[in-house]
Chains A and B, each alone.
Chain A
Amino acid sequence: MIMWERIKHMLVKEFIQIFRDPRMKGVIFLMPIIQLLVFGYAVTTDVKDIATLIHDLDNSIASRELVSRFVKSGYFHVVEYTDREDRARELLDRGNVGAVLRMNKGFEEDLRAGRTSQLQVIVDGTDSNTAGIVLGYSSKIAGQFSADLLTQRILRSSGPLGQTGRVAVETRAWFNENLESRNFYVPGVIAIIVMLITLMLTSMAVVREKEIGTMEQIMVTPITSTEFILGKTVPFALIGFADVILITLVGVFWFEVPIRGNLGLLFVATALYLLTTLAIGLLISTVSQTQQQAMMSTFFFYFPAVLLSGFMFPIANMPEAVQWLTYLNPLRYFLVIIRGIFLKGVGPSVLWPQMLALAVMGRVALWLATKRFHKTLA
Chain B
Amino acid sequence: MKPLRVWAVARKEFTHIVRDPRSLGMGIAIPMLLLVLFGYALTLDVDNVPLVIWDQSESPASRRLVSGFLGSRYFLLQDYVHNYPGMERAIDSGRALMAVVIPPDFAGRIESGRSAPVQIVVDGSDSNTATIAMGYADMVALAYSQDVAVEATHRIGGRAIQVPLDLRPRVWFNADMESKNYIIPGLIAVIMMVIAALLTSLTVAREWESGTMEQLISTPVKGPELILGKLLPYFGIGMLDVLLAVLMGEFLFQVPLRGNVALLFAMAAIFLAGALSLGMVISIVTKSQLLASQLAMVLTFLPSFLLSGFMYAISNMPKPIELVTYLIPARYFVALLKGIYLKGIGLEILALEAGLLALFGAAMVLLANVKFKKRLV
Contact = CB atoms under 8 A, between A and B. Distances in A.
Q: Do A and B come from one complex?
A: yes
Interface of A: 21, 23-24, 27, 31, 35, 38-39, 41-48, 51, 66, 92-95, 98, 111, 114-133, 135-140, 142-147, 149-151, 153-154, 157-158, 161-177, 179-181, 183-184, 189, 192-193, 196, 200, 204, 208, 211-212, 289-293, 295-300, 302-304, 306-308, 312-314, 316-319, 322, 336, 339, 343-344, 346, 350
B377 interface: no
B117 interface: yes
B166 to A, nearest CB: 5
Nearest to B94: A336
A48 B158 CA distance: 42
Given A125-B172, A143-B142, A196-B298, A169 B120 contact: yes
A349 to B, nearest CB: 10
B356 interface: no
The 3 closest A-B pairs by CB, nearest first: A136-B135, A125-B174, A173-B124
A174 B124 contact: yes
Interface in B259-289: 286, 288-289
Interface centre among A31, A142, A163, A164 (most CB of B within 10 A): A164
Contacts of A298: 293, 297
A161 B157 CA distance: 12
A48 B192 CA distance: 31
Contact of A313 (B41, B142, B156, B316): B41
B137 A171 contact: yes
Contact of A292 (B23, B127, B145, B179): B23
B299 to A, nearest CB: 10
Contacts of A42: 306-307, 312, 317, 321, 325
Contact of A176 (B125, B169, B295, B324): B125
A312 B311 contact: yes
A147 to B, nearest CB: 6
A366 to B, nearest CB: 22
B44 to A, nearest CB: 5
Given A125-B173, A150-B149, A339-B125, A139 B293 contact: no
B322 to A, nearest CB: 9
Contacts of B210: 211
Nearest to A161: B156
Given A45-B316, A314-B129, A128 B293 contact: no
B214 to A, nearest CB: 16
Interface string B311-343: 111011110110011000000000100100011
B173 A179 contact: no
Contacts of A119: 165-168
B220 interface: no
B163 interface: yes
Contacts of B138: 136, 139-140, 143, 169
Q: Which of A66, A163, A298, A303 neighbours the largest number of chain B CB atoms within 10 Å of its CB?
A: A303
A212 to B, nearest CB: 7
A127 B122 contact: no
Interface stretch (B4-12, B108-116, B233-241, B361-369): B108-116
Given A92-B343, A117-B166, A168-B141, 12 more contacts: A116-B165, A122-B170, A128-B45, A158-B153, A162-B153, A170-B118, A172-B122, A196-B302, A204-B290, A291-B206, A317-B44, A344-B92
Nearest to A122: B170
B168 A292 contact: no
Contact of B41 (A123, A132, A292, A322): A322
Given A46-B127, A93-B343, A322-B41, A291 B164 contact: no
A314 B137 CA distance: 19
A371 to B, nearest CB: 21
Contact of A150 (B164, B291, B317): B164
Contacts of B370: none
Contacts of B297: 196, 200, 295, 298-299, 302
Contacts of A151: 149
Given A153-B161, A166-B149, A172 B131 contact: no
B40 interface: yes
Contact of A290 (B20, B109, B312): B20
A41 B170 contact: no
Contact of B65 (A136, A167, A170, A299): A167
Contacts of B125: 175-176, 183-184, 339, 343-344
B163 A168 contact: no
A184 B130 CA distance: 11
Contact of B179 (A129, A154, A174): A129
B123 interface: yes
A46 B127 CA distance: 8
Identify the interface centre among A48, A111, A124: most chain B CB within 10 Å of its CB: A124
A136 B291 contact: no
Interface stretch (B30-38, B222-230, B244-252): B30-38
Contacts of B305: 306
Contacts of B146: 146-147, 150
